[in-house]
């Protein structure tokens, strides 16, 4: 048997080995998955990427978070990347405190809103961090410390400059350009308004119990509502309920789940603000995803669409093309009655174009 990692001393058999999550405090998807594990009462160990304790196997691609599982021999050898498949794996392995609504139609709406957060709201997250001077400087000073809190000042200074140059240089890749700025910031501001109203009436997006969409929104909003100065100030002024909400979702380990099958709203009793959230997805995310898929099919170097009467453009993104394929597969796999309910819920939101 391979020697046990020192971070995991005290565990006994492989069946009891906690999952390792390799992540970073600045990573929205890392925070999303840490919140998932906390809420679901799944034993885990948090390891900062590149730190002295990060001696676990690399993921299949160099992204975070990585979930690392122990095999039958107790060695940590299996890795899994990408937060949506990670959630699906955890749902398959652990029954308690599920994040997936038991109603098929509602589960699909939840999946759609998770993808909206992961693939669209993330653009605003990146935009605010790497566009404004105060945000850029804060990130440059703090991000290098994740790997080594005791790093020499000279090393930190070099890392500060390297990170800023690299990340600011990637802005256009994710759509953060001067041309797209009104689209991204307008969408974020509308999202804040929706959340401020929604959270005045219920604790989570789909009822009295969290779902995947809550975790995805939390992951993207945590940096924007608590860490990055410009977006945090905006959110504090316009959506203080949302700012408080992300602190709650960060650790829902004490949230009661009395009925493993219930706690989510019925599809005919969803809050009106859920409709508004779907309309925001239809207004922004849906035209982007469709245009991105078209650009990938044609081999174009640029995807272009119209959002809010404004031209939005960026390089096509292969992963988001895969996300649309997966979304359409889930839609096609719905039972007829559930698909009819989904169609009714999405009618007039703008999201219909995703499934044409």
| pLDDT tens per residue across span 134-152 | 999 999 999 999 989 999 9
Taking each continuous run of H as one helix and of E as one strand, the counts in the chain are 14, 6
Look-up of token digits 């096509």: 316
Supply 302's token pair: 């640029």
| pLDDT tens per residue across span 108-119 | 999 999 999 999
Region 263-272: mean pLDDT is 97
To which H or E segment does residue 220 belong? Answer: helix 212-222
- Spatial separation of the C-alpha atoms in residues 182 and 311, rounded to whole Å: 10
**Confidence class for position 9, pLDDT limits 50, 70, 90:** very low
- Supply the pLDDT for residue 7: 37
Exposed, middle or buried by CB within 10 Å (0-12, 13-18, 19+), for 127? buried
| pLDDT tens per residue across span 36-70 | 999 999 999 999 999 999 999 999 999 999 999 99
| pLDDT tens per residue across span 83-124 | 999 999 999 999 999 999 999 999 999 999 999 999 999 999
């Amino acid at each position: 048997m391979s020697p046990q990692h020192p971070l995991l001393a005290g565990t006994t058999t492989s069946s009891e080995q906690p999952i390792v999550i390799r992540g970073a405090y600045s990573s929205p998807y890392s925070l999303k998955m840490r919140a998932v594990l906390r809420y679901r009462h799944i034993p885990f160990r948090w390891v900062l990427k590149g730190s002295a304790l990060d001696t676990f196997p690399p993921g299949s691609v160099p992204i975070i978070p990585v979930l690392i599982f122990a095999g039958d021999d107790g060695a940590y050898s299996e890795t899994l990347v990408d937060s949506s498949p990670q959630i699906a794996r955890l749902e398959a392995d652990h029954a308690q405190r599920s994040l997936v609504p038991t109603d098929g139609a509602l589960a699909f709406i939840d999946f759609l809103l998770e993808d909206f957060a992961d693939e669209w709201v993330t653009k605003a997250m990146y935009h605010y961090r790497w566009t404004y001077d105060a945000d850029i400087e804060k990130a440059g000073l703090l991000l290098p410390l994740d790997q080594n809190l005791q790093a020499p000042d000279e090393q930190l200074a070099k890392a500060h400059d390297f990170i800023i140059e690299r990340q600011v240089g990637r802005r256009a890749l994710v759509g953060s350009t001067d041309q797209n700025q009104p689209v991204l910031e307008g969408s974020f501001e509308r999202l804040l308004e929706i959340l401020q109203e929604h959270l005045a009436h219920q604790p989570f997006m789909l009822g009295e119990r969290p779902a995947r969409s809550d975790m995805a929104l939390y992951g993207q909003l945590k940096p924007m509502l608590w860490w990055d100065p410009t977006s945090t100030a905006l959110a504090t002024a316009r959506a203080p309920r949302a700012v408080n909400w992300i602190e709650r979702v960060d650790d829902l380990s004490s949230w009661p789940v009395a009925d493993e099958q219930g706690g989510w709203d019925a599809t005919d009793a969803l809050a009106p603000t859920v409709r508004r959230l779907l309309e925001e997805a239809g207004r922004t995310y849906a035209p982007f995803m469709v245009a991105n898929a078209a650009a990938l099919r044609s081999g174009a170097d640029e995807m272009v669409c119209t959002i809010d009467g404004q031209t939005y453009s960026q390089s096509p993104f292969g992963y988001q093309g895969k996300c649309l394929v997966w979304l359409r597969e889930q839609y096609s796999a719905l039972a007829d009655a559930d698909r009819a309910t989904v169609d009714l819920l999405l009618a007039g939101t703008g999201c219909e174009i995703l499934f044409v």
